[in-house]
Each structure stands twice: as structure tokens, then as C-alpha cells.
Structure 1
Amino acid sequence: MPWDRDQIATRAAQELPSGSVVNLGIGIPTLISNHLRPEQNICLHSENGLLGMGPFPREDEVDAQIINAGKQTVTIVDGGSTFDSALSFAMIRGRHVDVAVLGAMQVSQRGDLANWMVPGKKVAGIGGAMDLATGARKVIAVMQQRDRKGRSKLLDSCTLPLTAMRCVDLVITDLGVLRVDRTGNAGFELVELAPGVSEDEFMGATGASVRLGLAKSA
């Protein structure tokens, strides 16, 4: 069975180094805050001005003024802080964010990321995605592997407007985990399959060249 959204977030949480500062994009990435282990000691950053973001609140913990970048109410851990967005983006641009986990509409085999606009749709703007994709030390893209029409979102070249070029290091989809060689043209490397997903199924849902690395059923 492919991973569901929550399982994708759980798998992504395993990739976060202990003690790192991590920014979670909107969508699937926001679920990661509920799957972090205390011993990881992760400090979550939100570009709207929050450092030390905790998991989603229980009903009796909701504070409408404490929100993440997706305007969802969140909590703040002990020692957390709030500040203006100018300082928050200075942290990103100054490369003080170790990992950014971003949702993706498309990822190319060179690590190009498209995640902010679908032609013909109304959008508020690119938001913090461009800064995060280029300012974070490591970028992890999380997404469903196919769009609603069944087309692969892993491509030789993105067809949607790019957020940033050669920025993605790792891709986690509902079907598996891939490394990206963004320094060259080696393409995707499949390193793990979701439980019960076959190599043939994975390849059939991929629109780019893929090398088989340490692929395994978890």
C-alpha cells in the first residue's frame, strides 16, 4: 500500500538531523510536527515569524494568534519566540535554516522545484518558497507521486513555473524515497519503496530516468 499523507510526514521526520533548525512548508510538511521524537531536539521555524513551533494544539490550547505559515493554529514550545517576518527571512537568507521540507507540484531529475503556481489558477504569490528553496542547507520535497489526472510529478524537466533550480536533495512520495544529484545529470536514485509497492509500480508512476540504489520494501 502506498503511504498516506500522514505516513509521508512520518517518513520525512526520520530525515531530520538531531538538533537542526527546520522549516515546514504548507500542506503535507505541516504534519511533520506531530511525528517528531523528543530526542531529535528539532527546532521548527516558520517564515511568518516563529522559532520553536510545537505540534498542533488540542482544543483547549488553541490561540488564534499563534499560527504557522499556512494560517493553521499551532503551539510554541518552552523557549520558543516570535518576531517580525523581516527577521524571519533574514534567518533563511543567512542560511540559518538547516532543512526546509516543502510540498511540491513537480520535481525534475536535476532537483528543480515547482510548487507555487498552476497556470490559470489564482495565487496569492510565491510566498517564502523561493527563499527557502535557495536559502536552506538541505531541501526535502514531499508529495503524492501523481497528480489528480494520474500524471507523474517526477519529470525530466518541470513544465510548471519554477520556484528554484537545482535545489531539491531528497524526494519523499507516497510510493517511495529518492535522492537527487543536483550537481550533475545522474537523475533520481530510488533508495526506498513504500511497503507493498513494487519497482514496476513505482517506475510506471515516474516520468524521468531513475537509478535503482538501495531500494527495499520497508
Structure 2
Amino acid sequence: MDNRNFIAKRAAAYFQPGDVVNLGIGIPSLCGSYAVDGVFFQSENGFIGIGPTVKEGLMKTERFVNAGGIPFIPVPGASAFDVAMSFGVIRSGRLAATVLGGLQVSAKGDLANWASPGRAFGMGGAMDLCNGARKVIVAMDLVTKNGAPKVVNQCTMPLTAIHCVDHIVTDRCVIDVTPEGLLLSEIRKGHTVEEIQAAVEPTLLVAPNLIEMEED
């Protein structure tokens, strides 16, 4: 399994039947393929009950596209509504979780994920999701393509929200944000605590029951 799907599968393990979950673009969008039955996916543009994306050759309709503009097939029981109600759902705490990509996560759980030097992606609904969802999961590689830390003492890129992240799921480990600090709770086979510590800026706490992440 490639790293993107490995991260998505682990992030999806946080979902429970009956949860309403929002998925960001990129790696988070893959989580739907690994969720247990009974999880409903929500989109900021006004839908609960997003199903599989439309495959090439199947009929497409402009009626059903997610916030990223990708056509999808609704699941039974799906519901559509306007954007105002959609953000009402988000802001009122009705989302069990959101999974978002990340450019940087700080030692205090601050998230920067919408702009980097010379490039702005657009914040979209991420600011509302970070403050409205009951659980915020960041799904990202542990380091940049150049090997620079993405888990940092303090974010240097524009913030999406502060003190919002609960879990950081990466290609090498899972780090939980706790009141005591960042806790290394799971590690992928073939990696070491020392290696993970060297790849991040904050000093990590190590769970006494550190477990190995599940592969295929």
C-alpha cells in the first residue's frame, strides 16, 4: 500500500458507525474507501451522504459534486441542502470529525494548511471545520519533500486555526495532541522512536504502550 492510502486508512480508523465526517482534499479524500459501514460524509457545499466518486464511463451529473468539484454517487438516505445550512451543521458541532491535510502542525495543535510561501491554496471551509468538528485529524507526510519538519514548535505559515488538532496521522507514526504535549502513540514498522524524534521539532512524549501501526 502506498503512503497516501496507508495514511488515509489509519485516519479512517477513528470513524464509528453513525458518525458524520467531513473530508478535506488530497489524502483525506481517500478515507472514504476505508471507513466502516454507517459513516456519512458531509461536504461544505451542502450534502450529507457522499458516496463513491464517479468512475470514467459512468453518467455524470452536475447535481452531485463535492466541495472539490468531483462528481460522486449519493448513498441511500443522503440529503442535500444550501450552503448556509451546511455551515450551520459544521458550526453547531454536529460533525463527529474532520480529516484535513496539513502544511504545519505546532506543538500546541495549531494548524497551517492553506498557504505556503509563494502559494495560496484557499482556506475554504477549513477554519470552520477546525472550530466546529468534535475531532480534528490531520493526515499528512511527517516531513516535506525536502525533508523539513512539518510538526514544528510554532507554525511559520499562515494559520488555519489554533489549538484545534487532536491527532496527526503520518506515513511513519501517529502523534496525539495532549495537554501535556505531543504524544507518540503509534509507529510504523521499520521506523524507530529516535528517527521520529529527529524528524520533528518538538520533544515528543512516548506512550508507554506504543503500538505498531497496522499494514495491509
TM-score by length of 2: 0.92
Please point out which of 81, 95, 105 is paired with 1:83. 81
More displaced stretch, 192-201 vs 25-34: 192-201
Q: Would you say 1:206 and 2:200 are equivalent positions?
A: yes
Q: State the match for 1:16 in structure 2.
A: 15
Query: Residue deviations 1:192-215, cap 9 Å, x none?
Result: 011222212211211111000032
More displaced stretch, 83-92 vs 128-137: 83-92
Q: Distance in 2 between matches of 1:3 and 1:105?
A: 20
For the aligned residues, what is the CA RMSD?
1.6
Q: State the match for 1:48 in structure 2.
A: 45
Q: Would you say 1:159 and 2:156 are equivalent positions?
A: yes
Listed as ranges, the matches of 1:9-158 within 5 Å are 9-38=8-37, 41-65=38-62, 66-123=64-121, 125-158=122-155
Shift of 1:62: 4.7
Q: Which runs of 5+ in 2 are unaligned?
A: none
Q: State the match for 1:215 in structure 2.
A: 210
The 8 Å contact of residues 62 and 74 in structure 1, kept in 2 or not, is answered as no
Q: Distance in 1 between matches of 2:60 and 2:191?
A: 41
Q: Would you say 1:173 and 2:170 are equivalent positions?
A: yes
Shift of 1:17: 2.3
The 8 Å contact of residues 23 and 100 in structure 2, kept in 1 or not, is answered as yes
Do the aligned partners of residues 62 and 15 (structure 1) sit closer, same or farther apart at CA in structure 2, a change above 3 Å counting? farther
Do the aligned partners of residues 122 and 113 (structure 1) sit closer, same or farther apart at CA in structure 2, a change above 3 Å counting? closer
Considering fraction of residues, name the structure with more strand.
Answer: 2
Q: Distance in 1 between matches of 2:96 and 2:59?
A: 28
Please point out which of 162, 180, 186 is paired with 1:192. 186
Q: State the match for 1:4 in structure 2.
A: 3
Q: Distance in 1 between matches of 2:90 and 2:59?
A: 27
Q: Distance in 1 between matches of 2:170 and 2:2?
A: 8
